[in-house]
Structure 1
Amino acid sequence: MIWKTAHILDDAKTARDYIASYIKDPAALQEAAFVPEATNIVLVGGGPKGMYALERLLNELPSSLEREGMHIIWINENADFGSGNNYQVDQPDYLLINYCIGNIDAWDRECVNTSIPQQLDLLDWIKASCDNGMQARPTDYASRALVGCYLQSSLQRILTSIPANVSVSLLQAKVADIHYETDFSLQLQGEEVPLKADYLLLATGHCYENNNLLGAGAVPAEQSGHYFKSAYPVKKLDSIPAQTPVAVVGLGLTCIDVVLHLTEGRGGRFTADGIYLSSGDEPLLYAFSRKNVPILTRGPIYGEDRYQLRPATIARLQEFKAISGERRIDFTRELYPVLQDEAQYAYYSTLLKERSEQRIADYIAKLPSNEIFTLDELLFPNSLSDHESMLQYLRDTIAYAECGELQAPVLAASAVWREATKWIGDLYQHAGFTGASQEVFDKQFFGAFCRSSFGPPIANMKKLLALAEFGILRFPATENATIDYNNEQAIFEVKGDNSSFTSTYLVDARIGRSNLEQKNASLYRALYESDLVKAFDNEGYHPGCVAMDIHGRATTASCAPLFFYGTPTEGVLLDNDSLSRKRNDTASCWSKFVVNTLLRLQKNNTYEFSSGG
């Protein structure tokens, strides 16, 4: 079952309007903020991470803290506070999350904010807020728009529970630059007077540009509006005319969004038996990637009904954790063999329905060496040579997902990374890997692990297959492609190892990653150029992120109390899922820092007053 915004009951649709009442005009906010002795606490980034940080801060603020004029100012570039760009509530319902609803919870269950009523997880919220005659199950899926409605409903509950000694304002604005002396000064785009802040957290999400796919001829292509350097928001692709050839770079989750928006979003329909019915308004789509291997389909994963690591493997990972305080770990030499051993066991234990390690080892020993399954085979398969081989790959992986990872050997092996991510993330964080092996991990392994372990739901991959069988979606054999722009003909020329094609439009369906030194995000470029942040360095390797300490605080000569949460910490931390409350919770570190500093100031002021100072 896929839950959509159409299933939401009318009385559960009030959150967006309620949140809008908190959005202030920048000029009016400036006037309110400039109060003598006021404390301005600013969060930048309006997605789930920003909401989690707001909730943690409100939870930490004690009623005994009575500083006059305590303002929390939450800044986002658009009005989608709580949901952020990924979960905008007005996006099409055919854009789905890639994990089950039973895994999503907007609340911290280990440190509960008792002032907020009805802290529902997504499953219980759907039961209370939706109706289509079906009972919601934890293994169901949902549209991203519906998840956005859930997140905004959660934000509404937070805003209705603000303590009396605090005010919260939401500000729709773009932060262009930040400076720091004794406090922060935020320059908002289009505003002359900067916004002052005593405390600041950046939870800015995916704000990075991809590297340019083209050569020197790229500038005319970008000016023409035919080159989309980012796929989001997908509605900007509406300008692409029908029947026009479009090259889509990337075969991951973003590619699926692009393809569905340009087909189902143009009025096409899918029948119950997997046939696509064209509207005639679709463009012609050519999807490819550097390796030309698509993301792996996965079935619903929830609770105990999944592959789980052997206790012996967990023990080995714990051993590495015990020694990680003494030295860096070499991922390639030390950790990868552990994952390889577990993946091989997962594959053959599922294939043979056998849990005896000795019997499995005996079986493997009898196989020809070129027939033995390895983790490399899963992560780095041969490129698919043509459209038909891609179709067969999609059919096979859909069949695996329908069987489930406890029945399909390939999916059991792919589950190893999902189950090991928590342990590997603990070893990775704060230069836990050697610099050389972190570089190999970041550039070679991480994307391959994500491709094999965090794929789309079966429903979406079946749609992709139907579109490819219909012929409106093609998979050209263009691995290791080069892309040039022909100015005279106004077309893109895509040339791969084995084939080539031309298109009128180009969509980059990859997700950009932070690269401070390449300055691929305007705000972070400004911070870097003003020396408010520096690049993280691990034995000479620069992953591209900001240097920060274990609490998410920037480490620079300025000593500015600038904190980061979520995507901006990637490279220092691993596994920053946008909806997770548990992993890499630097927001709690920041909120504790703010409150402890305020309490210390209050204590000092009280002492000075009582002493006649």
Structure 2
Amino acid sequence: MAIIGMGPKGLYALERLLAQIKYNTIDQCIEVHIFNADENFGSGNVYAKNQPSYLIMNYASSNINAWIDETPKPIVQQPLSFIEWLKENKVDKRSNSYLDFAPRAIVGEYLNTVFKELVSNSPESISYYFHPNIVADIKKTGDKFQIKEQSDSNYLSDKIDNVLLTTGHLGAGADFISEQPASSFINFVYPTKTKLKDVKTGKVVIRGFGLTCIDTVLELTEGRAGIFKSGSSNKMKYLPSGKEPNCIYIISRSGLPMFPRNSSEEEIERLVYFTEENIEAALKLSFVDLFLPLIKKEFYFQYYKIAFKIKNLELKFDEDFETVTAQVTEFHSKFPEEEKYCWDQLIDPFHGQATIYNDQLIEYLKFLISEAKKGVHASPIMAAVGTWRKISPIFNKYYSFGRLDAKSHALFDRDYFGLFNRLSYGPPIINTEKLIALAEGGLIDFSRVRNAEIIHNKKNGYELILDKKSSSFRRNAENYDTGKIKIDTVIDARIPRGIDRRPKSLFSNLLTKGLLRSFKNKNNGYYEASAVDINKSGKAINANGTLEDNLSLYGTPTEGVTLDNDTLSRTRNNFASIWAQNVIQDIQNKNKQNLFNNTINVH
């Protein structure tokens, strides 16, 4: 069998496979081929253990656990959660900082340790074959598969009974540029030390304003010997080394940053409107008509629950939402100075502005930090945006496998997936503080963060311009040097959802030959997601509409059919356990068939 992609998801699948082999006393010889883009088995590129310490998680250490609490138990005698492993191996008694948000490299070291433990504790009947290379293609001959690596023109001679695809992201597309010289265009930043080492000290544009953007910024500043220091007023300042780019421009579709999160990783207590009971009572699973109104009500209630608490009052829940809004109206009549909740203001405080000015965005980042430091139990706005983290697991049940109607599915993918990620899954506060320090020091320029585009031509190279269609561009062209800025390097820091469809990529090849097919939501309409079709066990559905019983997907390749796979989660969209059970069942069935055939031959 083969596992293609040995990052966290591949690791989890291997763990369940070994647990099932031991539990079912499978003692026959089994070959396990493990493919990974490089030698970071267990961690993958994003969590590679050779990364610098300033690249830190946005996921609390307390949530990380490579082991799952289910039967059969792991083959390792003392499986340690990340926190337990940290306390035994990494945490200095004088500092517990890793117990909040750890460096990504430390998480990678933990995952790599788990991988080594699994391999070393495996039954002797298992033979491992490690392939540190990108898989370019798979072909099926009869009921077996053959795999071709990117560095080889031929398929490997080994014939594989069962394949699991858990590949992560290898890069973003380049849809906004017609030509991409390798020296000045970077489409994937991990590992940052390697991918960004040749970026010149000129003007840089980063496309995307998420977590990958922050990692990129830190690599180009702190990674080049710059130093962040806190002054007497706890205001962070940046001391440049002179090796940084002259200026870093950040651009994105919304032009808005992610909400930072505090280290306590607090969560709201419970949902009151967005409940399965209310959803199941609906006749139609429409995002606009059902889910969005419930989401808005929940955000509203959680916001005012904290606003009331701050004034030593209690907002009383009522199924009749007008009863709640009446309490809020009375609240504001008593406290007119208190900020009123507004959905539109929450999701875009610069609504209606074609451009966002540098100083505006810096002040907004400072506001977000002040609220994040209060946490969800003391900041109404953080309680509101933290609501999505509670909603997401429930919504996933109705999003997955086309339960939403086609129009709703398309709308959520286009307009709301990114929005909720921005509101609820942002960076640790310290990383936002670093962005502010860099902007105030002039190394980051936010003036083009919204309504800007990159153009490329052979004569002038890359140029950053404001959207010519916007009134702001026409009004401010003179102030922006006729709207054009010459750029030396373009970095795509967006992480695409779903599968990589670039020509000659693995998934493109598998779609072309019909081993996979695109997922099409035909529920009261039509929508083709950036995903491949699978059944509820994670098994691939081929171009003929039949199951590929021995070709399964898990993690990133299932996005678009499932929602938010959460790379480090053992329970979210857990196809690993199902896959391992199916592999064992297949082995047992073949053993029974062989025993039957041998019995027939004897007689």
* Aligned twin of 1:9: none
Cα-to-partner distance string for 1:151-188 (whole Å, 9 max, x where unaligned):
11111211121023222222212221111132111122
Contact 1:565 1:587 in 2 (8 A): yes
Contact 1:492 1:506 in 2 (8 A): no
Contact 1:210 1:230 in 2 (8 A): no
Cα-to-partner distance string for 1:22-64 (whole Å, 9 max, x where unaligned):
xxxxxxxxxxxxxxxxxxx110001010010001011111476
Cα-to-partner distance string for 1:227-274 (whole Å, 9 max, x where unaligned):
2122333222121222x1111111111110111100001110011231
SS in 1 for 2:92: coil
The separation in 1 between residues aligned to 2:258 and 2:72, in whole angstroms, is 37
Contact 2:6 2:44 in 1 (8 A): yes
Query: Is 1:379 equivalent to 2:380 in the alignment?
Result: no
Query: Is 1:550 equivalent to 2:533 in the alignment?
Result: no
Contact 1:209 1:521 in 2 (8 A): no
The separation in 1 between residues aligned to 2:495 and 2:435, in whole angstroms, is 20
* Aligned twin of 1:239: 198
The separation in 2 between residues aligned to 1:600 and 1:323, in whole angstroms, is 43
1:503-514 equivalence runs, <5 A = 503-514=487-498
The separation in 2 between residues aligned to 1:591 and 1:574, in whole angstroms, is 22
1:530-545 equivalence runs, <5 A = 530-539=513-522, 540-545=526-531
> Number of aligned pairs?
559
Give 2:13's aligned amino acid.
A
Which range is displaced more, 161-170 or 257-266? 161-170
The separation in 2 between residues aligned to 1:582 and 1:520, in whole angstroms, is 33
TM-score (normalised: structure 1):
0.86
Which range is displaced more, 431-440 or 136-145? 136-145
The separation in 2 between residues aligned to 1:450 and 1:66, in whole angstroms, is 43
SS in 2 for 1:560: strand
SS in 2 for 1:271: strand
Among residues 178, 186, 189, which one is paired with 2:150 in the alignment? Answer: 189
Query: Is 1:98 equivalent to 2:58 in the alignment?
Result: yes
The separation in 2 between residues aligned to 1:131 and 1:576, in whole angstroms, is 29
Q: Residue 477 of structure 1: CA displacement? A: 3.6
* Aligned twin of 1:334: 290
The separation in 2 between residues aligned to 1:93 and 1:68, in whole angstroms, is 44
Structure 1: unaligned runs, 5 residues or longer: 1-40
* Aligned twin of 1:606: 595
Q: Residue 137 of structure 1: CA displacement? A: 7.1
The separation in 2 between residues aligned to 1:84 and 1:147, in whole angstroms, is 11
Give 2:260's aligned amino acid.
T
Contact 2:144 2:160 in 1 (8 A): yes
Q: Residue 606 of structure 1: CA displacement? A: 1.6
Q: Residue 491 of structure 1: CA displacement? A: 3.5
Give 1:335's aligned amino acid.
F
* Aligned twin of 1:583: 572
* Aligned twin of 1:122: 82
Query: Is 1:145 equivalent to 2:105 in the alignment?
Result: yes
* Aligned twin of 2:582: 593
1:207-222 equivalence runs, <5 A = 207=170, 209-214=172-177, 218-219=178-179, 222=180
SS in 1 for 2:79: coil
* Aligned twin of 1:364: 328
Aligned-CA RMSD value: 2.4
Contact 2:250 2:448 in 1 (8 A): no
Give 2:394's aligned amino acid.
W
* Aligned twin of 1:54: 14
Cα-to-partner distance string for 1:109-140 (whole Å, 9 max, x where unaligned):
23353431221111111110014333547851
Q: Residue 560 of structure 1: CA displacement? A: 2.4
The separation in 1 between residues aligned to 2:103 and 2:24, in whole angstroms, is 42
The separation in 2 between residues aligned to 1:138 and 1:275, in whole angstroms, is 23
The separation in 1 between residues aligned to 2:24 and 2:567, in whole angstroms, is 33
TM-score (normalised: structure 2):
0.88
Contact 1:535 1:546 in 2 (8 A): yes
The separation in 2 between residues aligned to 1:255 and 1:411, in whole angstroms, is 22
Query: Is 1:290 equivalent to 2:253 in the alignment?
Result: yes
Cα-to-partner distance string for 1:387-427 (whole Å, 9 max, x where unaligned):
00011011100111111111111111001101111101111
The separation in 2 between residues aligned to 1:520 and 1:387, in whole angstroms, is 38
1:130-279 equivalence runs, <5 A = 130-134=90-94, 136=96, 140-180=100-140, 181-191=142-152, 192-194=154-156, 195-207=158-170, 209-214=172-177, 218-219=178-179, 222-223=180-181, 225-235=183-193, 236-242=195-201, 244-273=202-231, 274-279=236-241
Structure 1 pair 67/602, CA: closer, same or farther in 2 (3 Å)? farther
Cα-to-partner distance string for 1:294-342 (whole Å, 9 max, x where unaligned):
111111244xx421233x335x32442x469xx7611221011111111
Structure 1 pair 234/52, CA: closer, same or farther in 2 (3 Å)? same
The separation in 2 between residues aligned to 1:459 and 1:193, in whole angstroms, is 47
The separation in 2 between residues aligned to 1:188 and 1:483, in whole angstroms, is 34
* Aligned twin of 2:377: 406
Structure 1 pair 520/308, CA: closer, same or farther in 2 (3 Å)? farther
Structure 1 pair 114/47, CA: closer, same or farther in 2 (3 Å)? closer
Among residues 486, 510, 530, which one is paired with 1:502 in the alignment? Answer: 486
Which range is displaced more, 62-71 or 185-194? 62-71
Give 1:145's aligned amino acid.
A
* Aligned twin of 1:441: 412
Give 1:307's aligned amino acid.
I
Query: Is 1:308 equivalent to 2:264 in the alignment?
Result: no
Contact 2:22 2:75 in 1 (8 A): no
Structure 2: unaligned runs, 5 residues or longer: 318-322, 473-479
Using the aligned pairs only, state the percent identity.
Answer: 31
* Aligned twin of 1:424: 395
SS in 2 for 1:348: helix
The separation in 1 between residues aligned to 2:176 and 2:96, in whole angstroms, is 43
Give 2:573's aligned amino acid.
N
* Aligned twin of 1:397: 368
Q: Residue 204 of structure 1: CA displacement? A: 0.3
Contact 2:371 2:382 in 1 (8 A): yes
Give 1:296's aligned amino acid.
F
Contact 2:8 2:42 in 1 (8 A): yes
Give 1:569's aligned amino acid.
T
Give 1:280's aligned amino acid.
G
Contact 2:43 2:112 in 1 (8 A): yes
Cα-to-partner distance string for 1:79-133 (whole Å, 9 max, x where unaligned):
0000101100111110010021111111012335343122111111111001433
* Aligned twin of 2:553: 564
Give 2:435's aligned amino acid.
L
Contact 2:460 2:486 in 1 (8 A): no
Contact 1:485 1:493 in 2 (8 A): no
